[in-house]
Amino acid sequence: MTSSEIIETAKHYLLPTYTRPDFVIERGEGVFLYDAAGKEYLDFVSGIAVNALGHGDPGVLKVLTEQAGKLWHCSNLYHTEPQARLAQLLVENTFADKVFFCNSGTEAIEGAIKFARKWGRKTKSERCFEIIAFHNSFHGRTLGALSATGQPEFWQDFQPLLPGIRFAEFNDFSSVEKLISDNTCAILVEPIQGESGVFPAEREFLPVLKNVCLEKKILLIYDEIQCGLGRTGTFCACEQFGAEPDIMTLAKPLAAGLPLGAILVKDSVAAHIGPGQHASTFGGGPLVAAVAEHVVHRLLDPGLLAHVREKGAWLLSQLQRLNTRFSMITAVRGRGLMAGVSLAD
């Protein structure tokens, strides 16, 4: 098919949920994408924060090819070595005691909400199901994750939403405090709000949230789907704030573009989740788990993380220089290689 034929076929048969430019991506290599005509594009989108190791990484390809020759899928009814090894790797390098694997970030948020509500019901009361989220947050497109997203333009046409989600102002602890009640089971927060424009939590905000969660016996949930896995210069972004969560969600770069999400939990949460209470047919299958183990090993490398911090500092310094030169730039924000620039209207 020619590029024009591909575009017309896509427009005819695909649900139009994306506004796409009129060219066809054919291959990728490193930080570059190439269209069918051979034109090169520097990929700042990174597959929407997914391709942390770039396109066509030889190490990923090797692991993918080797595992594809052994076993692709057998469901989560059975044990597989790649999944067990990946779970061990994540637990041994984070706050967590247990992991659940799913297929995407939004699925991870759905599971986190379920786990938090089950915990609230079992440790407090049947009325303890409320979750405090934040204005301008983004947690996903499925209904539960959408209900916790603090941007009405994403959900206003899909109401009624999941009940029991209340919204506070990001980086404003007093607004959180006003919403806490005996029915609050969890606080859900992005350490760095990504979709709304890369807004990091202030240094003391997450520790203060952690302290109130300990005091009030509330779970703290971090959504690190976009900011986690090395993007900010530490494996988990929350490492820079000194406040561990009870639950954390990961996805995006976890398997280098293959569909994988993860919910990391402490034993205090895991103790209330048993067989049949949550499941995923495909989540953490042997093919994707083998790739993810390779990716996580790479992203844990201290040299790579130091490189992210070094290049991130350089990037932010150069963006700040542009900020002083051009009035159209109104703000520069970020941590590591997760950077945002605000432009004047």
- Of the chain, the percentage scoring pLDDT greater than 90 comes to 99
118 & 30 share domain: no
User: DSSP 3-state assignment of 284?
Assistant: coil
Number of domains making up the chain: 2
**Surface-to-core class of residue 50, CB atoms within 10 Å of its CB (0-12 exposed, 13-18 middle, 19+ buried):** middle
- pTM exceeds 0.75 for this model: yes
pLDDT in tens, 113-136: 999 999 999 999 999 999 999 999
In a domain, 121, yes or no: yes
**Same domain? 67 vs 39:** no
Q: What is the pLDDT of residues 131-189, one digit of tens each?
A: 999 999 999 999 999 999 999 999 999 999 999 999 999 999 999 999 999 999 999 99
CATH code, domain carrying 229: 3.40.640.10
Per the domain annotation, does 153 fall within a domain?
yes
36 & 74 share domain: no
Between CA 283 and CA 288 the distance in angstroms is: 9
Across 8-106, the runs of DSSP E, i.e. the strands, are 25-29, 32-35, 40-42, 98-102
Pair (115, 247) in one structural domain: yes
Burial tier of 112 (Cβ tally within 10 Å: 0-12, 13-18, 19+): buried
In sequence order, the β-bridge partners of residue 264 are: 99, 248
Same domain, 115 and 224: yes
Looking at the fold, whether 1 and 105 belong to one and the same domain comes out as no
Among the listed residues 234, 250, 241, the one whose alpha carbon sits nearest the alpha carbon of residue 338: 234
Shared domain for 137 and 247, answered yes or no, is yes
In a domain, 340, yes or no: no
State pLDDT tens for residues 274-290.
999 999 999 999 999 99
* Summary mean pLDDT of the chain: 97
> Domain for residue 310, yes or no?
no
Query: CA torsion sign, 163 to 167 to 173 to 174?
Result: negative
Determine the pLDDT at residue 161: 97
**Is 256 inside any structural domain?**
yes
| Residues 88 and 33 occupy one common structural domain | no
Cα-atom radius of gyration of the chain, to the nearest Å? 21
Give the span between the Cα atoms of 187 and 131, in whole angstroms: 6
Looking at the fold, whether 38 and 169 belong to one and the same domain comes out as: no
Let me know whether 234 and 268 are in one domain: yes
Looking at the structure, do residues 235 and 186 belong to the same domain, yes or no? yes
- Answer whether residue 304 is part of any domain: no
- In this structure, are 39 and 69 located in the same domain? no
Residue 326 lies in a domain: no
In a domain, 51, yes or no: no
Residue written as token pair 């949550």: 278
Domain that holds residue 18: 1-44
Which token pair is 156?
């206003």
- Of the pLDDT bands very low, low, confident and very high (cuts 50, 70, 90), residue 110 is very high
Segment 54-79 shows an average pLDDT of 98
Q: What is the pLDDT of residues 263-320, one digit of tens each?
A: 999 999 999 999 999 999 999 999 999 999 999 999 999 999 999 999 999 999 999 9
Confidence class for position 345, pLDDT limits 50, 70, 90 = confident
